[in-house]
Amino acid sequence: MKLSFRPFELQLKHPFSIASFTRTSTPIMLVELHYENWVGYGEASLVPYLGESIDSATDFLNRLDVSAWQYPFDVGTLLAQVDSIAPNNTAIKAALDIALHDLWGKIENKPCYELLGILPQNMPATCFTIGIDTPENISKKVLEAQDFEILKIKLGTKNDKAIINAVRSVSALPLYADANQGWTDKYQALDMLYWLHEQGVQIIEQPMPRTMIDENAWLTESSPIPTLGDEAVQRLNDVAKAKGVYTGINIKLMKCTGMHEGLKMIHLAKQQQMPILVGCMSETSCATLAGATLAPLCNWVDLDGPFLVSNNPFASPVFQQGRYQLSNEAGLGIKM
């Protein structure tokens, strides 16, 4: 097998703000695995706050030798080899995981969902994320999100009620909310959750800092809506720790090293009776199609990455009634 890769700067349609930062573009690394006449595509979204960069990803890929990789391969065995190169580096590991799955499907001439025993007809609707902004801009962004049936609103500020009021002034859609660890007083957080519930908010992601374990557990116990651990849940090890602290978990391929480990997290969460949201970073349709392949196993879907960027180098995902339509072509259905 042969590996090639190139950096790419993904431009955001609007500057994106959450409780802790603002940015206008995201560096990504595009990866290809070549085997005979097949090419598997993968992508790493190197969002700055997670500690990876074009340099760290390049360094990681230069340490990987795929020349001995042959088909038939076992995805899990090859990815264990990738994971052992260095700790962390979860996004670039995810790029290799995605490329391997895409390649596997193409060699077998089957869509990946079929290889993984996933039923595409169980696909939930995906939400569209509205970042922190002024009330006027928030109302404007909501009006631009016509193709979506659910909105996800970033909160965790001092103006959370004004943000929701701005959304509600122009839209009656169901809402998800994400505080991104922005609330630090559990009593105020609980009052806010009751208010949000009355406003039609269905779930809350990472209400309080991930280090406030007892407070998050207390809040989950009393909350009128499910709480989901996101910043608190990176890899498989974190799923058992989230039990009793959050109602459910948010998985993202860029945090958990990709589809292989993501599937294990989904199965463990289900065993623990914890519902699952599959999310994404600023990504092209390459990585979100990998996430969408797992989405029929999840309760909620937040895969709006390609809709928030202006220079997606891949074809836009096929999207109907707010849902990803998985391609019946071989692999992950990623097209240049």
Q: Which residues in this chain contact Mg ion in the complex, by CB under 5 A?
A: 178, 205, 230
**Position with the least CB separation from Mg ion:** 230
Instruction: Give min distance, CB of 75 to Mg ion, in A.
Output: 27
Identity of the residue numbered 213: I
Instruction: Give min distance, CB of 152 to Mg ion, in A.
Output: 8
Instruction: Give min distance, CB of 277 to Mg ion, in A.
Output: 8
**Three-state DSSP state, 131:** coil
Give the orientation angle of helix 54-62 with respect to helix 90-108, to 10 degrees. Answer: 60
**Three-state DSSP state, 270:** helix
In the chain, beta strands by DSSP E:
2-17, 22-35, 38-45, 127-130, 150-154, 175-178, 201-205, 227-229, 248-252, 276-279, 300-301, 319-320, 323-324
Give the nearer residue to Mg ion in terms of CB position, either 277 or 292.
277
Give the nearer residue to Mg ion in terms of CB position, either 205 or 261.
205
Give the nearer residue to Mg ion in terms of CB position, either 57 or 233.
233
Calculate the alpha carbon distances from 174 to 29, 38, 117, 169, 301 in Å.
Answer: 34, 42, 30, 13, 13
Instruction: Give min distance, CB of 232 to Mg ion, in A.
Output: 10
Residue from 102, 100, 94 nearest 78 by CA: 100
Give the nearer residue to Mg ion in terms of CB position, either 5 or 300.
300
Instruction: Give min distance, CB of 195 to Mg ion, in A.
Output: 20
Instruction: Give min distance, CB of 179 to Mg ion, in A.
Output: 9
Give the nearer residue to Mg ion in terms of CB position, either 52 or 205.
205
Give the nearer residue to Mg ion in terms of CB position, either 160 or 205.
205
**CA Rg, the chain, in Å?**
19
Give the nearer residue to Mg ion in terms of CB position, either 47 or 61.
47
Residue from 324, 332, 330 nearest 298 by CA: 324
How many Cβ atoms are within 10 Å of 225's Cβ, its own excluded?
A: 16
Instruction: Give min distance, CB of 230 to Mg ion, in A.
Output: 4
**Three-state DSSP state, 13:** strand
Residue from 260, 259, 317, 235 nearest 250 by CA: 235
